[in-house]
Structure 1
Amino acid sequence: MTTLHSTTVQQRLENALSDLPADLQSALSSFINTQFKGVITKAQFQGLLADSKLDDKELRLALLPLAAAFSVAPISNFYVGAIVRGNSGHLYFGANMEFSGVQLGQTIHAEQSAISHAWIKGETGISDITINFSPCGHCRQFMNELTTADSLMIQLPERDEKSLQEYLPESFGPKDLGIEGGLLASVSHNLTLETDSALLISAVEAANHSHAPYSHNISGIALEMKSGHVYHGMYAENAAFNPSLPPLQVALIHANMSRECLSEVKAAALVESHKGEISHLAITQSTLEALNPDVTLEYASI
């Protein structure tokens, strides 16, 4: 099933591709198709380096317009792309996402999108990130939660690569609150739920990988689309609280990078730990209603 969003993304990808050097166009044309979902494997990237004759930095920067093709920006019409490299060597695209009809705090930044995309695909650390524009303070703080925050490198166009710690000197992070590990660390919280709902079971599985050391709101969500596909998301909490990314946003990133139209969410299931000091229920309900007033939401506090 091809959605309007997928068609828009494909047109943007093709437009961005046409602006690239001929050698890179030729190398990319084999997999920048309607099935491309913003992941370039380590082997593919090595092949692109050889075929394009670009160096690592030049190639990552050249790919940024392709990442920005996944942007959903109905409010700003400002398209931002980001590319992260996981510890595996694979590259993951991300793009900013805005939601009409809800407060701006629900917005997802491109850096958050790319990092969450890598997290969803099982990465446990990020070595570097390439971005169109200098990361805002919100995103610098979000990245400081990562397992690899101390070594993370940031590449911008027409600038030398710098470390996150150069962009965020004298930073405040998990260690200041006595927390070891960080976002993307491999964890399992062992939550269980007896239910016949496949969607709730998927949400529990997501919750078990969430990062919530401050509020203890271990939480996850599963979204069923009209296409029949199910996308999950888990809570990404932050030491500075405000940059935390709710599970719904992570699931929407998952759906968006899979080229789903966000208004085609059919049903959702949210699971939270009853030991948490906060709840995502109200904001999840309001954001889902803005996307599709007819969406159904199952909920369990366990």
Structure 2
Amino acid sequence: MSDDKTRLIEAARAAALHAHAPYSRFAVGAALLMADGSVVTGANFENASYGLSLCAETVAVATASAQGRLREIVAVGVIGGAMDSDGRATGAVPVSPCGRCRQVLNEAAQMGGRDLPVHCGAAEGNAVRSYRLSELLPDAFGPADLGID
């Protein structure tokens, strides 16, 4: 794996340790590589009112936005898996962002003028699938469609 890809997957694994997933028992971690080389992370946060739950990618993007850095995202890493008794994500199959998260990532990507690489890793092992965001969300709707750059 490339250095950035490895770094993002490891940061996503570390973030998944902080997942609050008492209902699904599925921990997800996300990591965003910023233009300056720093990494912003997020973990999924579930709520008893299921519809109010937040995905890891959305938490990470919201954190970057709260820091005034939404346009600085240059790559994404995400992992996920069923939680074991210690709260760690398990599994050897890469997971990818859900449709809602693909749209949230697209907002940041369009604002930053980038087609983000998205590295989807397994909770355990070395399995990683890499895509361009435009492959995961073709013909995406975003700020440009509203005349906003």
TM-score bin (small chain): 0.7 to 0.9
What is residue 65 of structure 2 aligned with on the other side?
Answer: 119
Query: Greater relative contact order (Cα 8 A, min sep 6): structure 1 or 2?
Result: 2
**3-state DSSP class of the match of 1:112?**
helix
Q: Aligned-pair distance for 1:62?
A: 2.5
Q: Pairwise mapping of residues 154-233 of structure 1 onto structure 2 (< 5 A)? A: 154-157=118-121, 158-178=127-147, 180-181=148-149
Looking at structure 1, the residues matched to 56 and 113 of structure 2 have their Cα atoms a distance apart, in angstroms, of 17
The structure 2 residue matched to 1:70, chosen from 15, 18, 25, is: 18
Looking at structure 2, the residues matched to 141 and 149 of structure 1 have their Cα atoms a distance apart, in angstroms, of 15
Q: CA offsets per residue over residues 238-276 of structure 1, 9 Å max, x none?
A: xxxxxxxxxxxxxxxxxxxxxxxxxxxxxxxxxxxxxxx
Rg larger for: 1
- Alignment RMSD (CA, Å): 1.8
Q: Pairwise mapping of residues 1-302 of structure 1 onto structure 2 (< 5 A)? A: 55-100=3-48, 102=49, 104-125=50-71, 126-132=73-79, 133-146=95-108, 147-148=111-112, 150-157=114-121, 158-178=127-147, 180-181=148-149
Looking at structure 1, the residues matched to 112 and 138 of structure 2 have their Cα atoms a distance apart, in angstroms, of 16
Looking at structure 2, the residues matched to 87 and 68 of structure 1 have their Cα atoms a distance apart, in angstroms, of 23
**3-state DSSP class of the match of 1:140?**
helix
TM score, norm. by length of structure 1: 0.39
Looking at structure 2, the residues matched to 80 and 149 of structure 1 have their Cα atoms a distance apart, in angstroms, of 27
AA partner of residue 120 (structure 2): L
TM score, norm. by length of structure 2: 0.75
Q: CA offsets per residue over residues 115-142 of structure 1, 9 Å max, x none?
A: 1112222314211110012111111111
What is residue 263 of structure 1 aligned with on the other side?
Answer: none
Looking at structure 2, the residues matched to 136 and 69 of structure 1 have their Cα atoms a distance apart, in angstroms, of 20
**3-state DSSP class of the match of 1:144?**
helix
Could you tell me which runs of 5 or more consecutive residues in structure 1 were left unpaired when the two chains were aligned. 1-53, 182-302
Looking at structure 1, the residues matched to 117 and 34 of structure 2 have their Cα atoms a distance apart, in angstroms, of 12
Looking at structure 2, the residues matched to 145 and 118 of structure 1 have their Cα atoms a distance apart, in angstroms, of 12
Q: Tell me if structure 2 keeps the 8 A contact 1:64–1:81.
A: yes
**3-state DSSP class of the match of 1:156?**
strand
**3-state DSSP class of the match of 2:76?**
strand
AA partner of residue 163 (structure 1): R
AA partner of residue 117 (structure 2): M
- Structure 1 pair 89/55, CA: closer, same or farther in 2 (3 Å)? closer
**3-state DSSP class of the match of 1:170?**
coil
AA partner of residue 118 (structure 2): I
Percent identity for Structure 1 against Structure 2: 35
What is residue 278 of structure 1 aligned with on the other side?
Answer: none
- Structure 1 pair 123/62, CA: closer, same or farther in 2 (3 Å)? same
Report the count of equivalent residues.
Answer: 125
- Structure 1 pair 58/150, CA: closer, same or farther in 2 (3 Å)? closer
Q: Tell me if structure 1 keeps the 8 A contact 2:118–2:132.
A: yes
Q: Tell me if structure 2 keeps the 8 A contact 1:131–1:156.
A: yes
More strand by share: 2
What is residue 185 of structure 1 aligned with on the other side?
Answer: none
Could you tell me which runs of 5 or more consecutive residues in structure 2 were left unpaired when the two chains were aligned. 80-94, 122-126
Looking at structure 2, the residues matched to 112 and 163 of structure 1 have their Cα atoms a distance apart, in angstroms, of 18
